[in-house]
Amino acid sequence: MELELTGKNVLITGGSKGIGLAVAKGFAAEGCNLHLTSRTAEDLQAAKGIIEQAHDVKVQIHPMDLAQPGAAENLRQ
Protein backbone atom coordinates (compact mmCIF):
# COMPACT_ATOMS: atom_id res chain seq x y z
CA MET A 1 0.00 0.00 0.00
CA GLU A 2 1.43 3.40 -0.99
CA LEU A 3 1.06 5.84 1.90
CA GLU A 4 3.01 8.69 0.25
CA LEU A 5 5.50 8.83 3.13
CA THR A 6 8.70 8.78 1.05
CA GLY A 7 11.28 11.14 2.52
CA LYS A 8 9.36 11.80 5.73
CA ASN A 9 11.20 11.54 9.06
CA VAL A 10 9.88 9.16 11.71
CA LEU A 11 10.88 8.85 15.37
CA ILE A 12 10.43 5.38 16.86
CA THR A 13 11.06 4.74 20.54
CA GLY A 14 12.09 1.20 21.43
CA GLY A 15 13.09 0.78 17.80
CA SER A 16 15.85 -1.78 18.23
CA LYS A 17 13.76 -4.94 18.70
CA GLY A 18 10.31 -6.43 18.81
CA ILE A 19 7.34 -4.31 17.84
CA GLY A 20 9.47 -1.16 17.54
CA LEU A 21 11.81 -2.81 15.04
CA ALA A 22 8.84 -4.17 13.07
CA VAL A 23 7.33 -0.67 12.93
CA ALA A 24 10.70 0.74 11.83
CA LYS A 25 10.94 -1.82 9.02
CA GLY A 26 7.42 -0.93 7.88
CA PHE A 27 8.17 2.78 7.73
CA ALA A 28 11.49 2.08 5.98
CA ALA A 29 9.61 0.04 3.36
CA GLU A 30 7.50 3.17 2.74
CA GLY A 31 10.70 5.20 2.18
CA CYS A 32 10.80 7.04 5.51
CA ASN A 33 14.03 8.16 7.13
CA LEU A 34 14.22 6.91 10.69
CA HIS A 35 15.33 8.10 14.10
CA LEU A 36 15.47 5.09 16.43
CA THR A 37 15.81 5.27 20.20
CA SER A 38 16.55 2.49 22.66
CA ARG A 39 18.58 2.04 25.80
CA THR A 40 21.08 -0.31 24.15
CA ALA A 41 23.52 1.11 21.59
CA GLU A 42 24.54 -2.33 20.31
CA ASP A 43 20.94 -3.33 19.57
CA LEU A 44 20.34 -0.01 17.82
CA GLN A 45 23.43 -0.47 15.68
CA ALA A 46 22.24 -3.96 14.69
CA ALA A 47 18.76 -2.65 13.82
CA LYS A 48 20.29 0.16 11.76
CA GLY A 49 22.34 -2.36 9.78
CA ILE A 50 19.35 -4.60 9.11
CA ILE A 51 17.18 -1.72 7.91
CA GLU A 52 19.84 -0.02 5.79
CA GLN A 53 20.68 -3.31 4.04
CA ALA A 54 17.06 -3.84 3.07
CA HIS A 55 15.98 -0.26 2.29
CA ASP A 56 17.50 2.88 0.79
CA VAL A 57 16.73 5.14 3.77
CA LYS A 58 18.71 7.08 6.35
CA VAL A 59 18.70 5.67 9.87
CA GLN A 60 19.95 7.68 12.81
CA ILE A 61 20.27 6.01 16.19
CA HIS A 62 19.92 7.64 19.59
CA PRO A 63 20.89 5.39 22.51
CA MET A 64 19.15 6.77 25.59
CA ASP A 65 16.71 5.98 28.37
CA LEU A 66 13.74 8.25 27.79
CA ALA A 67 12.56 7.61 31.36
CA GLN A 68 15.48 9.70 32.62
CA PRO A 69 14.88 13.41 33.27
CA GLY A 70 15.97 15.56 30.35
CA ALA A 71 16.38 12.69 27.88
CA ALA A 72 13.42 13.71 25.71
CA GLU A 73 14.64 17.30 25.65
CA ASN A 74 18.10 16.15 24.55
CA LEU A 75 16.54 14.11 21.76
CA ARG A 76 14.50 17.08 20.58
CA GLN A 77 17.65 19.15 20.14
1-37, pLDDT tens digit by residue? 677 899 999 999 999 999 999 999 999 999 999 999 9
Angle between helices 41-54 and 18-29 (to 10 degrees): 30
* Pairing outcome for strands 9-13 and 59-63: unpaired
Q: Please, what are the domains in the chain? A: 9-70 (3.40.50.720)
Which neighbouring-strand residues pair with 35? 11, 60
52-70, pLDDT tens digit by residue? 999 999 999 999 999 999 8
pTM summary value: 0.89
